[in-house]
Amino acid sequence: MSELDKYLIKCVEKGWRCLVIVIGENDLSLNSIGENTLCISKYADKTMFEKYNVPCSRTVNFAEAHKLLGTEFDNVVLSLYGATGWPGNLLALSTEYVNKGGYYILLIPEKLLETPFGKYFYNIVIKSENHVLIMNNKIVSHRYKKEKPIEPPPPTVASSDKYIKKLAKLAKNNEQAKALKILPTFLYSRKYKMLLLHGDRGRGKSSILGLYGAYILARNNGIFIITSRNLESIQSFYKMLTKGLDALGINYVVTYEKNGLITSVSTGKSTIKYVKPWKVTETKHNKPLLVDEAAGVGVARVRRWYNKIGKIMASTTIHGYEGSGRVLLKYIEELMKKTMTVKLRLPIRYYPNDPLEKTLYRLFHLDAEPPEINYEEIKNYELKYIEISVDELINNYELLRKTYGLLVTAHYRNEPDDLVLLLDTNVFKIRALTIKDHVIGVAQIRPEKLDESEKNILNKLLERLGVVQYHKPRKHELWRIVRIAITPPLQRKGYGSILLKNIEDEAKRNNIDSVGAIFSGFQTINFWLKNDYYPIYISPRYNKVTGEKNVAVIKPLNKSSENIVLAAATTLYQKTRYTSHILFRDLGIEKIDSINSFLEQKGINNSPQGLDCIRLRRYIEDLNEYYEAIIDIIVKHIDKTQFIDLSEKCRHLAIARILQGKTIVEISGITKENPETIINELNKCIRELTKQLSHTMCTH
């Protein structure tokens, strides 16, 4: 037995999972690694693993690794050779595949440790429990967890429901068994509209949801929907669903996609099938709706289902790489009060207090929360506006945690990749408000220029709206606020406006033209309006990821920028005046009123015809642009065009959508055609109408 094998075996002998880090070129053999090992590399290349004598039972590339949710391995070996940077999401995801007493092995090229995140990573792991770090053929660091793990007791929950009795035998612990026991109460009670399983990653939420699905199929007839961000993420749901049906002695048929992923399970009388989140409301189905990773499909979307469908069984991660469910829990407390919540605390693949999980959480701040601050204790102290550098974040863990703990509250979903981007890309500015030693507010800012890459979201939007071509500015540099947050106890006390004002003043000193933001939903729109930010854009369609409509706001800081921003604001005003019955009929009346009132107070009117012509030409030239981009111009200038020159089908579609304001789903119901087909046909028809209108309006 080699010296390395002795270290590795000691690391897992108590049953804890072990983190093994191999840095740079080494000649060591990982002989003690078992055969049930998942190997992951950028191109699924086995060469690196063969070099270390790793017996890979399965080898996948980075992208394929995300499709293995629900699978288990004794060990995982992840090679970062060939990676262009640190794959944060993949690091967090792949640890979940490792069972208790297994190894999680990272093969890391030395160049990755030279990056800011690499230095931060190294400082974290050498202090972590239960690790072995190898460099230059030597073990340079090792620490073992001395305590013995405690095995949770087996489930012992009784139930008078014969189906629950059988399904409870598949539960891993008492928490899961109790979660099953309450299911009939939820289903047959008018008191509750939603049942939510929540907890950290790896607690078996999807598995219990799968057993819920088995119960539904056993007790009901009909078509039921399971939805989540993607099909890959619900394979563990389907895996446990079929186990549940086996336990109940019910025959079933599984339908697969070409890539081997399960899409539906049917018993003959009933079926549970996967439907993408944005297609749930247009798909006929029975109650209840099943939702896996509810926060990930969009909190606003879940709320609409809650109000419209009225019976939902869902799961969500609170802390983890899939995104934060904290916003969802807040919504439940305030707006979805008829919800039964069940918290799952115990991990199911490894022991509680697992050292690898602790390292992961410490590394990526997966459980970061904004600090608790007593306003009365700090209100009389001096308020400071400060710059926080990446070096400070790397070298001061508590400062990073305070800062990041606030940033995660400003976004519906926070992922490990976000932390890597913050530390490694050198494109963000961090500004903060502090009182004493407390960080009470944070903003993450990204500078943008007109001539830079497609990542410049706001400037690209201004180009899409035609205002850049209309005014032809020499330059337009802006600071886009990616996230801004004030610690919850101090919200609604003016600190957000103070932070914003300091950012604007700094931007002016640096000759920046404007400051802006793009955000999902309307919860914060009044904050931006109060601070004189012009709304310039509301997305016509719901974002497929967030379930919200995106809103863009900009505040000009000089005369040149003012011309651009005000022109952009005219296009939004025109859309709300002419096409609210088409594009914004599902928005709250008070939101449209707030936006219109603000713009009218600022003297904003309809878009000038010259700008309309630029937008029409852009739409005609860009075959990928949606018809919603210019539909306000058609309604505004409807007297300058004729439907009669269109085909009969186009006339019918144009009348239904443009004149009557019928939704795509409503038109689909009338024509009996697929909604996607309707959208494609509408785009073709409106392009013909647009060419006619452009010729009439814009030919001089």
User: Does residue 154 sit within a domain?
Assistant: no
> What is the layout of strands, in order, in the sheet containing 138-143?
56-60, 37-40, 75-79, 103-108, 18-23, 131-135, 138-143
Distance of alpha carbon 636 from alpha carbon 651, whole angstroms: 18
Judgement on whether residues 257 and 126 belong to the same structural domain of the protein? no
Judge if 515 and 634 occupy the same domain. Answer: no
Question: What are the angstrom distances between the C-alpha of 351 and each of 92, 150, 424, 500?
Answer: 17, 7, 33, 45
Residue 186's CATH number = 3.40.50.300
C-alpha pair distances (Å), 7 with each of 351, 494, 613:
21, 56, 72
Instruction: Give the pLDDT of residue 296.
Output: 80
Residues 626, 603: one domain?
no
The reply to whether 210 falls in a domain is yes
Phi, psi of 131 (to 5 degrees): -135, 160
Residue with tokens 């399965």: 58
Residues 412 and 517 in one domain: yes
Pick from 29, 28, 49, 27: nearest CA to 38: 49
Q: Is residue 277 part of a domain?
A: yes
Per-residue pLDDT, 700 = 62
> In this structure, are 301 and 408 located in the same domain?
no
Yes or no: say if 543 and 550 are a contact pair by the CB < 8 Å rule: yes
State residue 411's pLDDT score. Answer: 65
Which of 556, 577, 607 terminates a domain? The answer is: 607
The pLDDT score that the predictor gives to residue 122 is 96
What's CA 639's distance to the chain center, in Å?
44
From CA 375, how far away is CA 60, in angstroms rounded? Answer: 52
Closest CA to 212 of 151, 170, 252, 173: 170
Give the alpha-carbon dihedral of 500, 504, 507, 509, to 10 degrees.
Answer: -130
Same structural domain for residues 181 and 125?
Answer: no
Entry field: residues in the chain: 700
Cα gap 460→579, rounded to integer Å: 23
Q: How far is CA 557 from CA 90, 508, 513, 564, 570, in A?
A: 41, 7, 5, 11, 18
Residues 41 and 128 reside in one and the same domain? yes
Contact call for residues 136 and 26 (beta carbons, < 8 A): yes
- CATH value at residue 502: 3.40.630.30
548 & 531 share domain:
yes
Residue 364 lies in a domain: no
Dist CA 270 CA 312 (whole Å): 17
CATH number of the CATH domain containing 137: 3.40.50
The single-letter DSSP state of residue 66 is G
Asked whether residue 445 falls in the same domain as residue 541, the answer is yes
Res 245: pLDDT: 97
State the Cα angle at 524 between 545 and 366, rounded to 5°. Answer: 55
546 and 409 inside one domain: yes
Distance CA 505, CA 527 (A): 18
Q: What pLDDT is recorded for position 496? A: 96
Tokens of 607: 């878009």
Whether 369 maps to a domain, the answer reads no
Residue after which a domain boundary falls, among 326, 344, 362: 344
What are the residues whose beta carbons fall under 8 Å from the beta carbon of 639, sequence distance 6 or more? Answer: none
Question: How many structural domains comprise the chain?
Answer: 4
Burial of residue 363 (CB within 10 Å: 0-12, 13-18, 19+) is buried
Please check whether residue 151 lies inside any domain of the structure.
no
Structure-token pair, residue 507? 């931007």
Phi, psi dihedrals of residue 252, rounded to the nearest 5° = -155, 165
Instruction: Using 50 as the pLDDT threshold, list the residues of the chain that sit under it.
Output: 323
In whole angstroms, give the CA distance from residue 459 to residue 465: 10
| Cβ-based neighbours of 18, under 8 Å, separated by 6 or more | 8, 11, 12, 102, 103, 104, 130, 131, 132, 356
- Rounded Cα–Cα distance for residues 480 and 447 (Å): 6
Instruction: Give me Rg for the CA atoms of the chain.
Output: 28
Is residue 212 a part of any domain in this protein? yes
The answer to whether residue 351 sits within a structural domain is no
In the DSSP assignment, the letter for residue 253 is E
**Domain extent for 320:** 162-344
Residue 325: its pLDDT value, please? 64
